[in-house]
Structures are given as structure tokens and as C-alpha cells.
Amino acid sequence: MLRVSLFFTSLLVSFTLLAQTPVVSGPMLGPVELRDAKIWVELSPAIKTASLRVNKKGDKTFFEVPYRGELGLSFNPVQFTVGGLDPNTTYEYSLLLNGKPSEYGGSFTTKLLWQWRTPAPDFSFLAGSCSYINDAAYDRPGTPYGSNDSIFLAMAREQSAFMFWLGDAWYTREVDFYSEWGLWNRASHDRATPTLQPLLKAMSHLAIWDDHDYGPNNMGSSYHLKETSRKVFNSYFCNPSSGMNGQGIYTQYSYGDADFFLLDDRWWRSADNERDSVNGKPNLNKTMIGREQLDWLKTALLNSSAPFKIVAVGSQVLNPVSPFDRWLDFPAEYYEFMNFLQSNAINGVVFLTGDRHHSEVIKVERPGTYPLYDITVSPLTSATHVFGNAEKNNPYRVLGVDQKHNYGKISISGPRGSRVLKVEYMGTKGEKLAEWSVGEKDLKTPKK
């Protein structure tokens, strides 16, 4: 009887696994370069082997890229790196699961090799933050915090090079904060949102994190599960790299003639309520991005010749009247970086941020040099709010969108020497809500 019981139990488990959808979410495009591309997918525990079949569009000759990692686990986010590609070429790919062809696949086009050959290409990318996916059993009672997520369908229709997640790509809940399984489950649950799937494969995806996809609200360096959180983040996004020496998630990315510096505002972050100053001087121990990352950022900016150097941070950077977390609340580090920008005449710096549940462009003048701008894009699906209190008539705001879910469509175009960065804030149906632009000539240190 025991053998019969075990047989039927095993059979039931097998049927249960086979009944599961083989792909939990994806496929999703990671960075697509000149000669290689990254493709991500999360597989069900029923899948024991997986590979990627790739061919040039219109060519029947294909090659396979096997996945050599472990499968059959509770969570199976998988990344493939496809190498040996030709620039400016469209490829098609499909998944082979358990040795059999599947319906899951897509296409991508490698970057154009324009350097020393043609003018820099015009391009656009999307940006957004604060994506709250409702999970009724674990959400706060009352009105759901997450809104209709059809905004992702509008974003998928955009003809853009990539999507830039500016933090809070998912929201951990109280049931997740102190559970390694919970951190994995939250990322897996939210990534599987049906309306998100077309966007995942429509374009490449890059990301930074903020507090909610890192851990508890406003959490920083003291989070005891931050190693797990880093592993989850790196398993669900395919950034070009992830910090150095196993620390943080900062990295750099380039597209066309723009350089992007993706910062980590959580790994080294001091408590927000730590004193800003000690004995009337900025508190040197209060940091947002930490010494290692700050030194890296300085060196990376010095090495960049891009007309636009886009520094992306989960928290706002400038906003002098904001009552919430911003880099300015870490004055020793903030002013060290601002002095570095000015003393080294670093041109073309623009900040790109999320977090605030409203969108705006903040402008801060700097005597003797060009002004700095902070472009904030938020929220995608989480709750919105109205500009109020000190921020109601913020004198530093040059453009603002509140009480509306939105994403940013940012384009860089124009002839060499006169490139223009344009920001369009788009609504849930892809309608334009507001627009602002700045030229590369407006972001240059005046000649003496």
C-alpha cells in the first residue's frame, strides 16, 4: 500500500507541475549592446532545462544558448547572455523548455556602430518609478494603494530604446520585510503582472532601487537582509554590472551620445533622522551614497565626454523645499559632490529621480556656472498626491504634474553640438501631460 500511495502522490505532483504555466513572467530584454544582448525570464519549478534559440531575422539558421544554472527551485529567474552578434542587426529568439519549443519569444535590434562614422543617433527612452501592484491579503485595509496598471500597456506601445526604472519597481510589505522568501516572492509576484508582460519584451530595461524594492520604508545600510535584497534585485534585472567588491548596485550605461550613471541610494545610507550637522558643521558620517560610490561617480564623470551626463538616483537630489528625503539632507556628501562638479567644470549633468508620487523639473542656479536640473518621474501605479504646503508654489519648480499617474518619455536629438534633451510626461493612455526641454549648450560651464 505504501508503494501505491507514494506512486499516486508522485503522479499528483507531476500533474500539478505540468499544469503550471511554464513561464511565470517575461521574457524581458536587458541591455542590448553592439555585440551581445541579455534576455531574462522567470520559469516555473516544472522546467528542468532551458535554452534560447536565436537567429537573424529572415535567416533560418539559428544557434542555441543553454542555461547552465540550477532550475526547479521555488523561484527561477533566468538570464541569458547572447554573444557574437552583429551591430545594427535584428535578431529573433524563442525559448526551448524541457527540450521542446515554446510560444515564448521576441526580437531585438543591436546598437548602431555610429562612432567615427555618422552623427550620434536620435533616440528616446522611458522612465518611471513607484509601481505598486495590489495584493489584497497583505495590503493595508481600505482603498487600494495601487491603481489601474493599464499604464504599462501604453508604455509598451512607445517606440523607445529602453525603459529606466527609477526605484520602487515593486513594493515590499510587512510580511516581506523580515523574510528572505518574502523578498523573492514580492519581486516574483509583481513581475508577473499580466499588463506588464508586453512592456518587458518591447524594449530593454535598466533599473535602480529605492527603499520599497530594497526593504522597509526609508531603510538604509542597517537592513539586515540587504544581501538577500541585492541578490533578488540582480536576479530580476539585467543591469550591465552591480557595484564593486560585492557592494551596492551602482553601474554605468551608455546609449547614443548620452552616459547614464545609476546610483545606489540605500546600501550605504545613514538613517534619515541622523543629525545633518555636528557643532555647526556638516556631519561627515551622514551619507547617502557612501565614499566608495562617490569616488567612483567622480572618476566616471571625469572620464565622460557625453553632452548629457544623466545621474539617476532613487531619492530627489536638489529640491530645496522638499520635506522628504533628498541628497541635500546629507550635506557633507552633497556639497562635496557639488563642489567637485563646479571645480572640475563638469558639463552636461542632469539628475533623473523618482520616489515622490508626483513629477516635476526642479532648477537650482549656481553662481558662475550653468544651473542644475532634477527631473523627477513618479508615480506609475502607486498613490498620487497634490502639491501642498511648502511645495505648493515651489519657486524652484519649472514644470510639475501632480494627482496623475504618469511616465516620462525622454528624447535626445539634434545635430552635433546642439543636442536637445526633451522630457514629455505621459498619462495612463499615452497622452501628453506636459513637456520641457534643455539644450546641451545650456549645460556648459561659461568660458572665462
Whether residue 447 has pLDDT greater than 80:
yes
Nine-digit cell string for 123: 533616440
Neighbours of 398 (CB within 10 A): 14
Q: Is the pLDDT of residue 11 over 70?
A: no
Q: Which residues pair with 311 in a beta bridge?
A: 261, 351
- Alpha-carbon gap, residue 197 to 203, rounded angstroms: 11
Cα–chain-centroid distance for residue 333? 23
Cβ neighbors of 106 (< 8 A, separation 6 or more) are 27, 29, 92, 93, 201
Q: Please, are residues 349 and 443 in contact by the beta-carbon 8 Å criterion? A: yes
CA angle 398, 400, 401 (to 5 degrees): 165
Cα dihedral across residues 350, 356, 360, 363: positive or negative:
negative
For residues 35-42, give the mean pLDDT: 98
DSSP structural state of residue 268 = T
Contact residues for 129 (Cβ-Cβ < 8 A; gap 6+)? 165, 166, 167, 168, 169, 210, 314, 353, 354, 355, 377, 378, 379, 380
Strand partners, 125: 410
Residue 350, Cβ density class (10 Å: 0-12 exposed, 13-18 middle, ≥19 buried) = buried
Is pLDDT of 13 > 70?
Answer: no
- To 5 degrees, how large is the angle CA 227–CA 231–CA 237? 140
Q: Which grid coordinates belong to 387?
A: 502639491
448 confidence band (pLDDT: 50, 70, 90): confident
State the average pLDDT over residues 267-279. 94
Helix count and strand count (H, E) for the chain: 8, 22
Q: Which residues contact 205 (CB under 8 A, 6 or more apart)?
A: 28, 29, 30, 162, 163, 165, 237, 238
Look at 291 and 20; give whichever has higher pLDDT. Answer: 291
Quote the CA–CA distance of 47 and 17 in Å, as a whole number: 9
Using a pLDDT cut of 90, give the percent of the chain over it. Answer: 93
Q: How far apart are CA 5 and CA 380, in angstroms?
A: 50
3-state SS assignment for residue 201: helix
Q: What is the pLDDT of residues 102-142, one digit of tens each?
A: 999 999 999 999 999 999 999 999 999 999 999 999 999 99
Decide: helix, strand or coil at residue 104. Answer: strand
C-alpha cell at 242: 552591480
397-401 and 359-366 strand pairing = antiparallel
Q: Which three cell numbers stand for residue 395?
A: 519657486
Tens digits of per-residue pLDDT, 158-201? 999 999 999 999 999 999 999 999 999 999 999 999 999 999 99
Residue 369 pLDDT class (50, 70, 90 cuts): very high
Are 406 and 419 in contact by the 8 Å Cβ rule? The answer is: no
Please choose, from the candidates 243, 350, 357, 228, the residue with its C-alpha nearest in 3D space to the C-alpha of residue 289: 243
The pair phi, psi for residue 232, each rounded to 5°, is: -65, -50
Residue 294 has pLDDT above 90, yes or no: yes
Q: Please report the sign of the dihedral spanned by the C-alpha atoms of residue 235, residue 123, residue 357, residue 314.
A: positive
Question: Looking at the predicted structure, is the pLDDT value of residue 332 above 50?
Answer: yes
* Predicted local confidence at residue 3, as pLDDT: 45
Band (pLDDT 50/70/90 cuts) for residue 66 is very high
pLDDT of residue 16: 41
Inter-residue contact 231 to 59 (CB < 8 Å): no
Distances in whole angstroms, Cα of residue 381 to Cα of each of 49, 142, 198, 238: 35, 17, 17, 23
Predicted confidence at residue 7, as pLDDT, reads: 40
What domains lie within the chain, and their CATH numbers?
2-109 (2.60.40.10), 123-443 (3.60.21.70)
CB 349 within 8 A of CB 311: yes
